[in-house]
Amino acid sequence: MAVDDDVKAKPALESTDARNKLEDLSGIIIKEGENPYDALIKACDDDAPQIQSLYSTHRTARNSQQRDKFLSPELSELVIDPFLLRLENPDIEPGFTDPRHCLVFWARPPEHIVKLASHLQMLLKQAAPNLWLMPTHRMHMTTLEIAHSRTPEGIADLVSVMRPALANLTNFTFTHRARLVKPFISYDLSAIAVSFLPAAGESVRSPSPVPPHPAHIAHPGFSGASITDTDRYTYHHLRRDMFEAAKSTGVEIGSRYVVPSAHITLGRYLTQKDHETKEQREGWVQAIDKINAWLENSVWDNINGEFIGEWIVGQERGLDARNGPLWYGGGRSIMVGEGF
């Protein structure tokens, strides 16, 4: 991409990514030039339980790492997002707009997951009253990031190249259905998310697809389908295939990171007020541990509970091809695929 397409923020602001890098803690090494999602699948012998285990390893190890950072006596401050801070507090820099334009494919959570996420936000807000919360109508999970931090013109060029393939890409989840289970609060020094694991034979909890639906599609919600068979195609397989299909259009995939994570951002820190003291930080970590214990004991395997923690990517609507200043759920949809 030409130098002119790089964003020149004025004044120069540092992204939270630069200070709080999301690294892969699963232990998988990606070879240069290969489809980055293939490495984990191959390392797991294309086996859903092993893939789920590595996703779990990543999020557990990351939470442990971040817990140590929060409780470290050397911690001086949290990582505040300077872009979001200016958008939420216009007096800091009147007229400020986010210059970082992106092109992505989002998976939108279905209604029952939005309900759960909203409840989690309420619990987190009780522990940190000054937390910025992602509006529920903007909630998303990034299945594939094509480009980030570009100018509108640079993104328009990419959209032009990919446009003939957008219908196939956004409808991909209609025939390639991947289940996600076991919600869990993941956090770091800049943000909080609810993360999921690829399913591996767990009982089906989420609503069945809305009829009518084609009988030939293998999926747990369809009569006669085998859960074991359908879970062989995991969320990581979906990301691998989306990467390959997008790359075949001729664009260069410029994702910020490729880690075994399926997460929906719930909130970000915009002030130090809730975490200034050792006692506050200890209370925050304990609150997250308590929420995760509740999720595991009352949501994961609860058939008749108020909340459902499982979903199938593509429920209610297909993938959302979206561009613009997307970092906080903004931007616009170019095309949205068919849901089920």
Nearest to 285 by CA among 206, 189, 209, 162: 189
pLDDT at 3: 39
In the predicted structure, residue 21 carries a pLDDT above the cut 90: no
Q: What is the pLDDT of residues 286-304, one digit of tens each?
A: 999 999 999 999 999 888 8
What is the 8-class DSSP label of residue 261? -
Domain presence at residue 25:
no
Domain presence at residue 26:
no
Domain presence at residue 1:
no
In the predicted structure, residue 19 carries a pLDDT above the cut 70: no
In the predicted structure, residue 188 carries a pLDDT above the cut 50: yes
Q: What is the pLDDT of residues 43-52, one digit of tens each?
A: 999 999 999 9
Where residue 147 falls among pLDDT bands split at 50, 70, 90?
Answer: very high
- Of the chain, the percentage scoring pLDDT greater than 90 comes to 75
Average pLDDT of the residues in 293-320: 94
- Determine the structural domain holding residue 109 and report its residue range: 32-336
pTM attached to this predicted model: 0.89
pLDDT at 229: 67
Q: What are phi and psi of 157, to 5 degrees?
A: -65, -40
Domain presence at residue 15:
no
CB distance 77 to 219 below 8 Å: no
Domain presence at residue 20:
no
Query: 235 versus 17: which is more confidently predicted?
Result: 235
The CA-atom distances, in angstroms, between 23 and each of 61, 142, 187, 241 are: 11, 16, 13, 22
What CA–CA distance (Å, rounded) separates 97 from 95?
A: 6
Average pLDDT of the residues in 16-37: 67
In the predicted structure, residue 11 carries a pLDDT above the cut 60: no
In the predicted structure, residue 23 carries a pLDDT above the cut 80: no
CB distance 11 to 83 below 8 Å: no
Number of domains in the chain: 1
- Asked if the bond preceding 212 is cis, omega within 30° of 0, the reply is yes
Q: How many CB atoms lie within 10 A of CB 102?
A: 24
Mean pLDDT score across all residues of the chain: 89
Q: What is the CATH number of the domain that holds 225?
A: 3.90.1140.10
The CA-atom distances, in angstroms, between 327 and each of 16, 255, 284 are: 11, 13, 25
Where residue 8 falls among pLDDT bands split at 50, 70, 90?
Answer: very low
Where residue 209 falls among pLDDT bands split at 50, 70, 90?
Answer: confident
Q: Which residues of 177-215 are buried (b: 16+ CB within 10 A; e: fewer)?
A: bbbbbbbbbbbbbbbbbbbbbbbbbbebbbbebeeeeee
